[in-house]
Chain A
Amino acid sequence: MEQGLIEYNPKKKKNRFLRHYQLFLLIVPALIFVFIFNYLPMYGIVIAFQDFSPVDDILSPNANWIGFANFTRFFNDYRFATLFKNTFLLCIYGFLVGFPLPIIVALLLNSLKSKKMSERLQTIFYAPHFISLVVLVGMLYLFFGEYGLVNNLLTYLNLNKYSFFLEPDAFRPLYILSSNWQDFGWSSIIYLAALSGVDPQLHEAAIMDGASRLKRILHIDLPAIFPTISVLLILSIGNLMSVGYEKVILMQTTANSSVSEIIATYVYKIGFVGSGEYGYATAIGLFNSVINVVLLIIANILARKFSNNSLW
C-alpha cells in the first residue's frame, strides 16, 4: 500500500487518467441499459421490412424480406387517411391550447401582487399532475357519463342529456381539456423558473418610466422567457405527431373510434389485439416516428434561421 502511494503521487498524469476512468465506470450501467432497451429495439425495426411471424427470431436466416410492402399496404389501407387526419387534428388542437396556456399562467402567476398567494396557487396547480392516467380517464367517465355530474347539471338546467362517450364530436374536446387540466400547472414550472431570473431592477426602472404592469409583462417578462419558449416550441413541433396514446386507448369506445383511432393506437391494435401482425405494426409505427424526426429537424433549421435559439 505504502509503496503504491509513493509510486502514484509523482505520476500525476497517470493518476488523472485513473480518476477519469472511474468516472466512466460510473456511467457504464446506464450505457449498457440504454444500449439494450433503446438501441436494440431500433435494430428491431428491420422487421418492418419483413413478413414477420411472432414465432420468428428477429434475424432468422429464413426471414421473409418483403421490402416496402408493409408500407405500401398501410398507404393503401382504407383507414390510412382517417388515421392520419385523426392523429394530426388531435395533436394540432392539443398544441394550440396546450402550448400557450402554461406561458400565460406563468406570466400571470408571476405578476400577482402577493408572492405567498402565488406559491399557494402553484401548489394547487401542480396537484393534478400526480393523478394517474387511469384515474383521470376514470374521472372523465364519472363526470361526463350518463349519470354523471355534468349530465345532472344539464338536467337541472332543463337541457337534454349528452352522451359524451358515445358522441365522436366530444372526444377531442374531452381529451384536450382533461390533458390541460392535468398539466397546465406542471408545464408552467419551467417558465416560472425562467421568470425568477428576471432582474428586478428592470421592473423598477420601468415603473419609474410609468409603465403599467401589463406593459411590463409584454416588454420585460415575455422577452425574458422567449428563449425558453422557442426551445420548447421546437421540442413540441418535434413531438407534433406523437400523442399520449396510453390515454387515448383508455378513452376509446366503439362509438367514438371514428375520431379516436390514431396511428399509435392502430399500431397497438394491429400488434396486440387480433392476429399480431408485428411486421406491419412496426412499419406503421416507424412511419409515425420518421415524421416526428423530420418535423424536429425542420423546426430546428427554422429556429436557427430566425432566432439564436436552436437545439443544436
Chain B
Amino acid sequence: MAFRKNKQKTALRDTKGDKIFYIVNAFIMILLAIIVIYPMYFILIASISDPDAIFNGEVYLLPVNITFKGYERLFSDRLFWIGYRNTIIYVVVGTTLNILMTIPTGWALSRKELPGRKYIMWFFIITLFFGGGLIPFYLLVSKLGMVDSPLALIIPSALSVWNAFMTKAYYESNIPQELLEAAEIDGANEFKTFLSIIIPISKPIIAVMILFYAVGHWNSYFNALIFISSEEYYPLQLVLKDILIATEVIGGPAGDAATIIEQNKIANQIKYSSIIVSSLPIILLYPVIQKFFNKGILVGSFK
C-alpha cells in the first residue's frame, strides 16, 4: 500500500472500471450487511413495541409505543429461570471439562514425537466421517445411566475432535521448535514443559476454544430433547423451544378469531423478549469475541 501511494501514484491510480467495481462491491456488501442485521434488529425493537402496532404492521424501523409487557410476562415464567440457571451451570462445568480434554490432546497431537501418532490420528479422523448413529449413541448413554441426568449434557460432549484438530493446528504453526529444544536442554520433562511453558503461552487458543465450546453448550438443545425429561434439568434452549416453536399451531378448541389473534399477540410478545433475553450473554460478549476476529487469531486457527 505504501509503495502504491508514494512511488507510483500516477501509474497505479485506479482506472475508471476499477472505481466502478469498488463502488458496486461496497454497495453489495453493505446491502448484505443490512440483510444480516435487520432481522436481529427487528426482534429487538419488536420486543419493546406495542403488540397492536406490530400486528398492524407499523413497526419497521423504530419501536412504537414502548412497553415492557413481554419481558414482564417472561420473567414471571418460573421454567424460564430454571432453564437459564441450568444452562449457566452446564456451560461452566461443560466448558471446563472441554478445555481440560482439548488442550492436552491438541498439544500432544501437534508433536511429532508422540508415540503412535499416525495411528492415533486415524483413530480420531475416522470418527469425523463415520459414526454409530443416533440410536446406538442413545442406547450407550442410557446404558451408562445418564438418561434424565444433567451428566448426559456434559459427559458425551466432553471433547470435539474438530476442536482438538484446530488446537493441534494452532500449536503446529505457533510454537517455535527452539523453545522445545531449550526446554529439553534444561531437562524439563513433557508434563513440566506442557504445564509451565506451553500453557502460559496458549491464552489465545484457550480463549477461542472456550468461546466455541461455551457457545455450543449455550445453544445446544438436541441432547436435552432426547435425554432429559424432568423440567428441573431443562436447559434454556428446551424451554425456549416450548415458547418459540410448540405454540405456533393454533391450540385450544374454543375461541373465536378475535381471541385467537389476541392470544397470538401476547404469545409473540413473549417470543420476541425471550429471544433477546436468551441471547443476552452472547450479545454482551460479542464485542469481546470480536477482538479475536480482528487479531486474526481465529482466522489463523482455521488454517
Contact = CB atoms under 8 A, between A and B. Distances in A.
B231 interface: no
Interface string A184-197: 01000110111010
Nearest to A280: B135
Given A142-B268, A165-B248, A213-B21, A196 B299 contact: yes
Contact of A125 (B17, B32, B127): B32
Interface string A16-45: 001111111111011101101111111111
A108 B29 contact: yes
A37 to B, nearest CB: 5
A269 B245 CA distance: 18
A128 B36 contact: yes
- A contact face: mostly helix, strand, loop, or mixed: helix
B220 to A, nearest CB: 8
A152 B25 contact: no
A44 B245 contact: no
B33 A125 contact: yes
B212 to A, nearest CB: 10
B221 A246 contact: yes
A137 B115 contact: no
Nearest to B220: A132
A192 B18 CA distance: 21
B245 A134 contact: yes
A135 B275 contact: yes
B194 interface: yes
A242 to B, nearest CB: 10
A146 B265 CA distance: 11
A212 interface: yes
Instruction: Kindly name the residue among B35, B37, B219 whose own CB sees the greatest number of chain A CB atoms within 10 A.
Output: B219
Given A27-B120, A130-B215, A137-B244, A44 B221 contact: no
A185 B135 contact: no
Query: Interface size for chain B: under 10, 10 to 19, 20 to 34, or 35 or more residues?
Result: 35 or more
Contacts of A264: 134
A213 B22 contact: yes
Contacts of A149: 42, 57
Interface string B274-303: 010011001000100110011010111011
Given A22-B189, A134-B240, A128 B29 contact: no
- B contact face: mostly helix, strand, loop, or mixed: helix
A41 B144 CA distance: 12
A310 to B, nearest CB: 14
A68 interface: no
Interface in A128-154: 128, 130-135, 137-139, 141-143, 145-147, 149, 152-153
A39 B158 CA distance: 15
Interface stretch (A76-84, A85-93, A168-176, A285-293): A285-293
A26 B249 contact: no
A111 interface: yes
A112 B26 contact: yes
Interface stretch (B69-77, B88-96, B102-110): B102-110
Nearest to B190: A22
Given A42-B130, A108-B29, A212-B18, A19 B189 contact: yes
B132 A41 contact: yes
Nearest to A37: B156
Given A45-B133, A141-B248, A281-B135, A125 B36 contact: yes
A97 interface: no
Given A21-B115, A112-B22, A181-B35, A27 B105 contact: yes
Contacts of B29: 108-109, 112, 117, 121
A136 to B, nearest CB: 10
A139 B271 CA distance: 9
A33 B21 CA distance: 52
A124 B164 contact: no
B17 A212 contact: yes
B240 to A, nearest CB: 5
A160 B35 CA distance: 24
Nearest to A46: B136
A23 B164 CA distance: 15
Contacts of B68: none
A253 interface: yes
Nearest to A312: B125
B211 to A, nearest CB: 9
Contacts of B240: 132, 134-135, 138
Contacts of A133: 219, 221
A189 B25 contact: no
A259 B120 CA distance: 41
A119 interface: yes
Interface of A: 9, 18-27, 29-31, 33-34, 36-45, 47, 58, 105, 108-109, 111-113, 117, 119, 121-128, 130-135, 137-139, 141-143, 145-147, 149, 152-153, 155-156, 165, 181, 185, 189-190, 192-194, 196, 204, 207-208, 212-214, 238, 246, 249-250, 253, 264, 267-268, 271-272, 278, 281-282, 285-286, 288-289, 292-293, 296
24 contacts: A20-B113, A24-B116, A26-B190, A27-B105, A37-B137, A39-B127, A42-B130, A58-B139, A117-B29, A127-B286, A130-B215, A131-B40, A131-B219, A134-B240, A135-B275, A138-B245, A147-B268, A152-B56, A192-B299, A207-B12, A267-B133, A281-B135, A285-B135, A293-B130
